[in-house]
Amino acid sequence: MASSILSSIELVSATDIDRITKIDAPKVSTNQDAYIQKNQFGYYILVNTWLMAIRQYSRYGWIRVLDRIKRDGLMSVIASASSSSDQLIRGEDLSDTVFRNIFTDVKGTIHVPHTPQCAEKEIGRNPTATMLFLLRYPKRLSPLENDLVQKASLQDFLNTENRTKLWQRHEYSPYLVNRVREEMTLLVNWKEVTNEVIKHMTPEHIVLTGGANFDSRASLGEKLVALSTTEPRYFPRPFGFPVGIFFEGGKTEYWGYDNQYDVRPVDVRAVPKSYKASRIIAMETVRNQGYAKAASLILDRYMPHATPIHNQGINQELARIGSIDGSLATVDLSHASDTIAKMFAFEVFPKGFWSVISELLGTHTCINGTMRLMQQMSTAGNALTFQLESLIFLAVAKAACVLYNEFADVPVDPEIVSVYGDDIIVPTEAYETLRDVLSALGFIVNDSKSYASGSYRESCGAEYWDGIDMSSYYFPRFPLEGKIGSSVEIRLKYRRDSFTGEMADSLTSLVGLQHKLYHVAYDASQFIYLVIKSSFPKMTTSSPDSQNQDCWDYEDTYSVRYAPAAEITHPKKGERVLKRIKVEGQDRKLKFYPGTKYDLKLGSVDRALAETMLSLHNYQQFLLHGPRYEDPLLELLGISAAPPTVEQAFGKLTVAWSMKEVDYE
């Protein structure tokens, strides 16, 4: 039923999607068949919802967009739409005829009383905000099997590394480095923070972070296994006696004071980001990331007010003010952390602090099994990178403001500067000076995303035009998986979002998208709702005229199924055995023997050893942090939470069947 309803309202059929994916596949993938197969569902949702959103504001514009998609492929049209959005925010006329005509329709439609309006954004109320939404909606599409895009992104990373290497070969301007160093010394109580970091660089202060690592997967059990090899001192016995000798395979000499201690590799990979590029991530070892995270928590407490690393709202509000009166400029950098050379960081940070903190940063990158000496200070995956880059760019921005004041008639206030990672906000008068200083120090200013004139400003994902919110809704970068054809089916495969780090599946991503589109593109929202209902009939909805948005939650429709096993009974003994099979021309009889193991990357882990490791870990956490409480009320009542079980830490038990040859008598 749902499938027939979908076919009656869809603007693009499964057959059309097949042709469109075949146009795009050669451009981005070497495995074209896999690309077509795995991305048809995502294409189907994106193209239909995008065209439905356009149709809501342009009666015939969607037809011309569809014609172009069928002719040139989806990627080409997304690129044209993205280019048009850049022209729009610069106040230029749209060079693309199709999108220029759609914008004309939007300006005429936006005043129609029955046009849906978004409660949170200006989409549906402001023509420019609405057009930006239509142009930008598909730009985060991240197809699967786009290995050519991933390869290009990794090569871009290597090119940036080579560029950083060349910058380190010639001396940085001593004058500029000294000015940045002077500002850096004023940002933090460096002696105090250094002493505290040193004090906490002991095994009991390691902080285990979420997500996978260079030497383990995401589970607590995997991390404990990795630490038992690289940092056996993490597992103290009561009264502090070392237990490293009890862990088979523990190699303490690899992490002592020999040369191998200086090799701290990171695994560099490309993960989904957008239609044209992949996000580069780097996974640290459990040990290195654990110490880096402990140090970052300390540094967190000393960060200056001008680096509000836990509050994007400050930069966003400053961007809004700058869009109104033009007093502030927003600056964006390309490859920001990748262009901070180790030599530059060594020059500008206080020597005592750098000597301690540099031991927690990676030394080598590993890409497709090839190890290379790392040229940049640290990758974005290191727990310290965000704080360190924020401090560096804050010092550079303040130095630029001071330099400007030395030559300007009207000085600017360096205290107005605000930095969130590589999002920099400075007084507009100092923008050109900052741009020159950044370029002279090897950084790459993204001119297309930096704004010092006009009425547009953008920072930390917030966009304003003369104080009006211009931010948009986007198609999820999380790859949507499913199948289309005689029926539509959503496949539930959990993945970690490359941007937020959260685990999600196609259903949760579609429900989130349906909520976003509910007020700004109702037909597209209803289309997604029907897609969801076709796979999950028990999806619940909000009541009519409710303030809640449509899709709400679903009842579990899964049932646990066990894989069937072929069994026969022994003709004499009545034992269950596997049916006869031919092996090397002889009849062999095989028997199932069940056994239990932990599903760990490093293989089966002895349960007694696993329980010992977990008990020591829990004991250490209790000594360090005290009892654990699940909520404030239970803490008030003094009811502590139970420590995690072996199953919770190491994953669910799996049944492993072994086959043993038996002979009939």
The bridge status of strand 444-445 relative to strand 456-459 is unpaired
- Give the torsion through C-alpha atoms of 123, 124, 128, 134, to 10 deg: 70
The residues spanned by each domain of the chain are 2-139+514-554, 147-309+337-409, 568-662
- pLDDT above 70 covers a percentage of the chain that reads 80
User: What pLDDT score was predicted for residue 244?
Assistant: 41
User: What pLDDT score was predicted for residue 556?
Assistant: 41
28-66 residue pLDDT tens? 999 999 999 999 999 999 999 999 999 999 999 999 999
DSSP 439-458: HHTT-EE-GGG-BSSSSEEE
Q: Which of the four pLDDT bands, split at 50, 70 and 90, describes residue 212? A: confident
User: What pLDDT score was predicted for residue 30?
Assistant: 94
397-434 residue pLDDT tens? 999 999 999 988 889 998 999 999 999 999 999 999 99
Q: Which of the four pLDDT bands, split at 50, 70 and 90, describes residue 574? A: low
Q: What is the mean pLDDT of residues 527-534?
A: 89
User: What pLDDT score was predicted for residue 118?
Assistant: 55
Q: Is the pLDDT of residue 639 over 60?
A: yes
Q: Is the pLDDT of residue 598 over 90?
A: no
CB contact set of 74 (below 8 Å; sequence gap of 6+): 20, 21, 23, 24, 43, 46, 47, 138, 141
Q: Is the pLDDT of residue 569 over 80?
A: no
User: What pLDDT score was predicted for residue 506?
Assistant: 85
CB contact set of 240 (below 8 Å; sequence gap of 6+): none
Q: Which residue has the higher pLDDT, 293 or 548?
A: 293
As a whole number of angstroms, the distance between CA 214 and CA 206 comes to: 16
User: What pLDDT score was predicted for residue 577?
Assistant: 44
The residue count for the chain: 665
Instruction: Give the CA distances from residue 373 to residues 154, 259, 280, 382, in Å, rounded to whole numbers and listed in that order.
Output: 15, 15, 17, 16
- Give the torsion through C-alpha atoms of 189, 194, 195, 197, to 10 deg: 120
Whose CA is closest to 221, among 599, 490, 549, 641? 599
- Give the torsion through C-alpha atoms of 502, 508, 509, 515, to 10 deg: -120
Amino acid identity at 490: I
The answer to which of 161-165, 454-458, 547-551, 618-622 has the lowest mean pLDDT is 547-551
In this prediction the pTM is 0.82
What's the distance, Cα to Cα, between the start and end of the chain in Å?
Answer: 58
The answer to which of 86-90, 228-232, 282-286, 422-426 has the lowest mean pLDDT is 228-232
User: What pLDDT score was predicted for residue 552?
Assistant: 58
User: What pLDDT score was predicted for residue 121?
Assistant: 81
User: What pLDDT score was predicted for residue 623?
Assistant: 79
Q: Is the pLDDT of residue 610 over 80?
A: no
